């Protein structure tokens, strides 16, 4: 009787030991594909993200292709030697000259003035925010600085023309109404947030152990900031500098309003001069017939501007690789 009872209980015991079957809902199983059981939604999201990542390459390639195609038409009528060596740029006059040097000089001078303002001020601001400012004050100053980058550049242009220029004329009475100095100073103010914000992020990424080691050796906060934190964050700070340079080179409205529109081959920042971007704005107004040499000249000037920006970005990439620190 007991043996029969035990034999009758055996199937129930074995059935309880067997793993329970998990039924996959039809709706969920319909979303799975392949042996890896990847969802089709994941595949779509991955393709969308990949397209977004490749969009920058596609757009850059399209811009370069347009510049090369349109510039080739210009260089069929103007020699590259004249374009690179002539010191006069008068494509809109009857006696036309196509030397890019005056526009390059104006671009580099205004950029140099801007960097002379933005790099030291932005770096000192970043050091203060990273090493000295209390948390509550930093949360107020940093967003306020970043608001400067949201101001329209045309507002900066009239600020340079109507406020900064008269202020500079009180110190230098001979300063003309339009000058690269005034435009460069305001451009420097505009790019301070780019330099300070990215530099401060790079400095805050430096491990606290390096600071504590400097303090243990007897260094004060200033020495630690300059000798330890700044070199350790140099790759990120260099990226901020390169971004500021690229932003200054490509600025349009400030130089078009405050620096003047006359191409002049000069390195004196107290003189008016045109930049590459200012000339492109001037010709794009519609005075030149489409397809003329004067109109095609804006693509040649744009190609030079692109190569200048590309060169600075390549230099920044080399510097980042050279001074990069991994923590």
CATH number, residue 217: 1.10.3720.10
Q: Tell me if 289 is assigned to some domain.
A: no
Buried b (16+ CB within 10 A) or exposed e, 243-261: bbbbbbbbbbbbbbbbbbb
Q: What confidence tier does 16 reach under pLDDT thresholds 50, 70, 90?
A: very low
Q: Average pLDDT for residues 313-317, to the nearest whole number?
A: 84
Range in 45-49, 122-126, 286-290 the model is least confident about = 286-290
Give percent of the chain with pLDDT exceeding 70.
86
What percent of the chain has a predicted confidence (pLDDT) above 90?
38
Q: pLDDT averaged over the chain?
A: 84
Q: Which range (19-33, 64-78, 173-187) has the least confidence?
A: 19-33
Q: Is the pLDDT of residue 198 over 50?
A: yes
Q: Are 325 and 210 in contact (CB under 8 A)?
A: no
In whole angstroms, what is the distance from residue 19 CA to residue 81 CA? 83
Number of folded domains in the chain? 1
Tell me, yes or no, whether 165 lies in a domain: yes
* 3-class state of residue 177 by DSSP: coil
| Residue 301 forms part of a structural domain | no
Please tell me the distance from the alpha carbon of residue 201 to that of residue 307, in angstroms, as a whole number.
29
Mean pLDDT of 174-201: 92
Report the pLDDT value the prediction gives residue 41, as an integer from 0 to 100: 78
* Measured torsion, CA atoms of residues 137, 143, 145, 148, in degrees rounded to the nearest 10: -160
What is the structure's pLDDT at 4? 45
Burial of 185-212, coded b for 16+ CB within 10 Å and e otherwise, reads: bbbbbbbbbbbbbbbbbbbbebeeebbe
Q: Considering Cα of 102, then 103, then 109, then 113, what sign does the dihedral take?
A: positive
Alpha carbon dihedral 215, 219, 223, 227, in 10-degree steps, equals -70
Residue 74 domain-assigned? Answer: no
Residue 84 placed within a domain? no
Would residue 306 count as lying in a domain?
Answer: no
pLDDT of residue 9: 44
CA dihedral of residues 101, 103, 109, 151 (deg, nearest 10)? -160
Backbone angles phi, psi at 98, to 5 degrees: -125, 50
Spatial distance between the Cα atoms of 183 and 251, rounded to a whole number of angstroms: 10
pLDDT confidence tier of residue 21, bands split at 50, 70 and 90: low
- Tens digit of each residue's pLDDT (9 = 90 or more) over 226-263: 999 998 888 889 889 998 998 899 888 999 999 988 88
User: In this structure, is residue 61 part of a structural domain?
Assistant: no
Tell me if 166 is assigned to some domain. Answer: yes
pLDDT at 37: 53
HSE toward the beta carbon, residue 274, CA cutoff 13 A = 20
Give the residue numbers spanning the domain of 254. Answer: 106-282
């Amino acid at each position: 009787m007991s043996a029969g009872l035990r034999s009758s209980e055996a199937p129930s015991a074995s059935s309880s030991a067997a793993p329970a079957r998990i039924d996959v809902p039809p709706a969920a199983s319909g979303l799975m594909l392949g042996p890896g059981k990847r969802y089709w939604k994941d595949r779509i999201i991955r393709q969308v993200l990949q397209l977004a990542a490749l969009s920058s390459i596609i757009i850059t390639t399209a811009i370069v292709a347009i510049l090369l195609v349109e510039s080739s038409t210009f260089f069929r009528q103007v020699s590259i030697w004249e374009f690179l060596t002539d010191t006069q740029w008068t494509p809109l006059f009857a006696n036309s000259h196509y030397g890019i040097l005056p526009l390059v000089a104006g671009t580099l001078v205004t950029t140099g003035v801007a960097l002379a303002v933005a790099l030291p001020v932005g770096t000192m601001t970043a050091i203060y925010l990273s090493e000295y400012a209390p948390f509550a004050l930093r949360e107020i100053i940093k967003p306020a600085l970043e608001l400067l980058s949201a101001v329209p550049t045309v507002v900066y242009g009239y600020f340079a023309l109507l406020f900064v220029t008269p202020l500079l004329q009180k110190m230098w009475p001979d300063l003309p109404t339009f000058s690269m100095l005034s435009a460069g100073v305001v451009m420097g103010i505009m790019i301070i947030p780019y330099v300070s914000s990215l530099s401060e992020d790079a400095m805050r990424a430096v491990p606290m152990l390096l600071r504590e080691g400097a303090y243990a050796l007897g260094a004060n906060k200033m020495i630690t900031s300059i000798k330890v934190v700044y070199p350790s964050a140099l790759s990120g700070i260099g990226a901020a500098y390169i971004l500021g340079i690229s932003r200054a080179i490509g600025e349009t409205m400030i130089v078009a309003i405050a620096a003047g529109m006359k191409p002049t081959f000069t390195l004196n920042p107290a003189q008016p001069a045109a930049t590459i971007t200012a000339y492109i704005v001037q010709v794009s107004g519609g005075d030149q017939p489409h397809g003329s040499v004067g109109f095609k000249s804006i693509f040649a000037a744009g190609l030079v501007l692109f190569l200048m920006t590309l060169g600075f970005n390549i230099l920044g990439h080399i510097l980042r690789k050279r001074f990069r620190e991994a923590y």
